[in-house]
Chain A
Amino acid sequence: QVQLVQSGAEVKKPGASVKVSCQASGYTFTSYDINWVRQATGQGLEWMGWMNPNSGNTGYAQKFQGRVTMTRDSSINTAYMELNSLRSEDTAMYYCARGAYCSGGDCYRRELDYWGQGTLVTVSS
């Protein structure tokens, strides 16, 4: 069965960086994009960007451009999201989710059908 398992909770100081991992299993890792979505406590869902595990191509929401980097290690079916220059407003639950299907060089937009369990990132001095 498809599973996305994320790394554990992190506590960081303002200005630091955090790197969250998302290990996929139960499907061909390179065939689907990984998206990252965050949610501050009691708030709604905010899409951060996508990463294609086959090509390494990425697309980021403008809000996070220059501060976020999404990468992968296909040898261990793991995607990463690194966020720099952390501030208190970045305190949130971060989720990875499976998205677009890619085959033969083409990718097809689709819903986010499987989600990781979430990683709580707390930014506090």
Chain B
Amino acid sequence: DIVMTQSPDSLAVSLGERATINCKSSQSVLYRSNNKNYLAWYQQKPGQPPKLLMYWASTRKSGVPERFSGSGSGTDFTLTISSLQAEDVAVYYCQQYDSTPYTFGQGTKLEIK
């Protein structure tokens, strides 16, 4: 199984500042035949299901604010929120969908400083 490890476990950032969450996979999730990284990011607020933010590591889902961006390739990935807003307080998860079982990171709790 591919193990997904996020860092940090929790993060406190001031409003308007940058937030960065890292995700590392135990093996590459880059599929060389199409040069796509099978990596997604989700946001989960209390009492709600997860919401897809990014897929193919760096493609923003329609409707997701531009302050969210994803980067990385192979085994190392980053989710960046360029200017933190109050509504961004949530737990963020990375997930690989390269091979089953489709595994998630343990989550990163993002709070306002």
A-side interface residues toward B, CB under 8 Å?
Answer: 35, 37, 44-47, 50, 59, 61-62, 95, 97, 99, 109-118
B-side interface residues toward A, CB under 8 Å?
Answer: 38, 40, 42, 44, 49-52, 55-56, 61, 93, 95, 97-98, 100-107
For the complex, give the distance between the alpha carbons of A86 and B99 in Å. Answer: 27
Choose from A61, A62, A95, A110 the contact partner of B50 (Cβ within 8 Å): A95
Residues of A with C-beta under 8 A to B56: 111
B51 touches A62 (CB 8 A): no
B51 touches A111 (CB 8 A): no
Q: How many A-B residue pairs have CB under 8 A?
A: 59
A110 touches B49 (CB 8 A): no
For the complex, give the distance between the alpha carbons of A116 and B101 in Å. Answer: 20
A115 touches B97 (CB 8 A): no
State how many angstroms separate the Cβ of B93 from the closest Cβ of chain A: 6
State how many angstroms separate the Cβ of A23 from the closest Cβ of chain B: 15
B49 touches A47 (CB 8 A): no
Residues of B with C-beta under 8 A to A62: 101
A44 touches B106 (CB 8 A): yes
A47 touches B52 (CB 8 A): no
Residues of A with C-beta under 8 A to B102: 35, 47, 99, 112
Residues of B with C-beta under 8 A to A99: 97, 102
For the complex, give the distance between the alpha carbons of A44 and B98 in Å. Answer: 19
A118 touches B49 (CB 8 A): yes
Closest to A96 in B: B49
A50 touches B40 (CB 8 A): no
Do A50 and B100 contact each other (CB < 8 Å), given the known contacts A109-B38, A113-B61? yes
**Could you jot down 12 A-B contacts, CB within 8 Å?**
A37-B50, A44-B93, A44-B104, A44-B106, A45-B95, A50-B100, A109-B97, A110-B97, A111-B55, A113-B52, A113-B61, A115-B50
Closest to B49 in A: A115
Residues of A with C-beta under 8 A to B97: 99, 109-112
Closest to A117 in B: B49
A112 touches B40 (CB 8 A): yes
